[in-house]
Amino acid sequence: MYRYRKSIRTLESNASPHVFLVDARRVESIDPSAFTAFLSYVEERFEQLRRSVKRLVMVRPGGLPGAAISGFFEVMHRRPYRVLVVESPNDAFRWLGEVEPMFRNYDWEWVAELDRVFGGALSETPTASALRDLLDRDRTHSVEDAAMALAFTPRTLQRRLNDEGTSFRQELQAARIRSAQKLLVESDLPIKCIALDAGCSSVQHFGSLFRRLTGQTPVAWRRLQRVAWAAR
């Protein structure tokens, strides 16, 4: 979350009342453990947040991540400040402008700056991003297949991924879990079938991998996503 002032400051106990704008348009997946961490943070600092934050607006992503975020705020049993989830920065600035004069004549420079920061982050991991796209289309690729598809030698691919803080194995596992998450939400397939589709040799192996990458068991993750959908 960012506090829009001349500089970005950490929320402190003596912070003057302000507003939050969260631009989540480019979120591609949701880790349920993040919701748990956020709830704990709010509960621990409830009174402090109630005094310091006027309102929070989130520009949501599309698809399932956006639905999960919207549903989360709907089922949150108490909030220290007003919350609105919108689909465009335009709507966000308009709502914030009701209480914060600086947002009434908003300038798209702020949105452009967020876009520039995001673009810069992506440009730092071009090989990993290309590999993710490839594996999301076909998870049967070996490192040799992927290297050929991306016009690298296997050694060069591994080196570039290492420079970007990842590896072929990590990216393949993450692609398998992304595919499993889609099936968990969009189908009623049993966990055993989803584990096999993800390329795991057993339900235990799948459960261990899923929990390591998401912080939740497959069953708990599916339940939370469906609660979020039902709250829309």
β-pairing verdict for 53-59 and 18-23: parallel
Question: Is residue 3 included in any domain, yes or no?
Answer: no
Query: Given 79, 99, 122, which residue is the final one in a domain?
Result: 122
Can you give the pLDDT at residue 15? 64
* Same domain? 147 vs 206: yes
Q: Which residue has the higher pLDDT, 169 or 84?
A: 169
Token code pair at residue 83 = 């919350």
- For 15, which DSSP code? P
> Which uninterrupted H or E stretch holds 59?
strand 53-59
Q: Residue 90 corresponds to which tokens in the numbers above?
A: 């335009």
Q: Which of 87, 122, 157 is the last residue of a domain?
A: 122
Q: Are residues 53 and 134 in the same domain?
A: no
Same domain, 151 and 187: yes
Which one is predicted more confidently, 230 or 64? 64
Same domain, 118 and 170: no
User: Above 90 in pLDDT, residue 172?
Assistant: yes
Average pLDDT of the chain, as a whole number: 79
Identify the residue whose tokens are 């709507």.
91
**Gap between the Cα atoms of 185 and 208, Å rounded:** 19
- Considering the domain boundaries, does residue 91 fall inside one? yes
pLDDT in tens, 100-136: 766 665 555 556 566 555 555 555 578 988 999 899 9
For 102-229, list the strands marked E by DSSP. Answer: none
Structural contact between residues 131 and 150, judged by C-beta atoms closer than 8 angstroms: yes
pLDDT (tens digit per residue) in 57-84 = 888 877 777 777 777 777 777 888 888 8
Domain membership of residue 155 as a residue range: 125-218
Each residue's pLDDT tens digit, 31-51? 777 777 888 888 888 888 888
pLDDT, greater one: 192 or 103:
192
In a domain, 169, yes or no: yes
Distance separating alpha carbons of residues 29 and 31, to the nearest angstrom = 7
Nearest to 232 by CA among 104, 98, 73: 73
Q: Which of 122, 157, 179 is the last residue of a domain?
A: 122
The whole model's pTM is what? 0.51
Q: Which is higher by pLDDT, 59 or 154?
A: 154
Indicate whether 101 and 143 sit together in one domain: no
Closest CA to 89 of 113, 71, 70: 113
Instruction: Tell me the helix, strand and coil percentages in the chain, rounded to 5.
Output: 60, 10, 30
